[in-house]
A = this chain, B = another copy of it.
């Protein structure tokens, strides 16, 4: 219910500004990378970051992710769940437990 409202809110925001014309999947993918860089900047020189700023930058990444999901006609929650099924297989509990190595080095 909340999820639908967020999607609707973003869609209304974009429609009011007539911005869908700029939101090609490629441009949204670029935007996600750009905002991910701004989020990372909060942690550029140390692990402590201003929480308000992190929250805002994380929100920007999420917003573009939701816009891209929408543009691709997929449900954000569903693709996360689908991917989790694959990742569970790539990282079986008995091999991956407590280790941060990549699946091809497990």
Contact = CB atoms under 8 A, between A and B. Distances in A.
Interface of A: 1-3, 5-6, 9-10, 13, 16-19, 21-22, 24-27, 29-47, 49, 51, 54-56, 58-63, 65-66, 68-69, 72, 74, 76-77, 79-84, 86-88, 91, 93, 96-98, 100
Contacts of A30: 30, 40, 43-44
Contact of A1 (B1, B21, B100): B1
Say how many copies of this protein the assembly contains: 4
A68 B54 CA distance: 10
A59 B9 CA distance: 21
A85 to B, nearest CB: 10
B63 A80 contact: yes
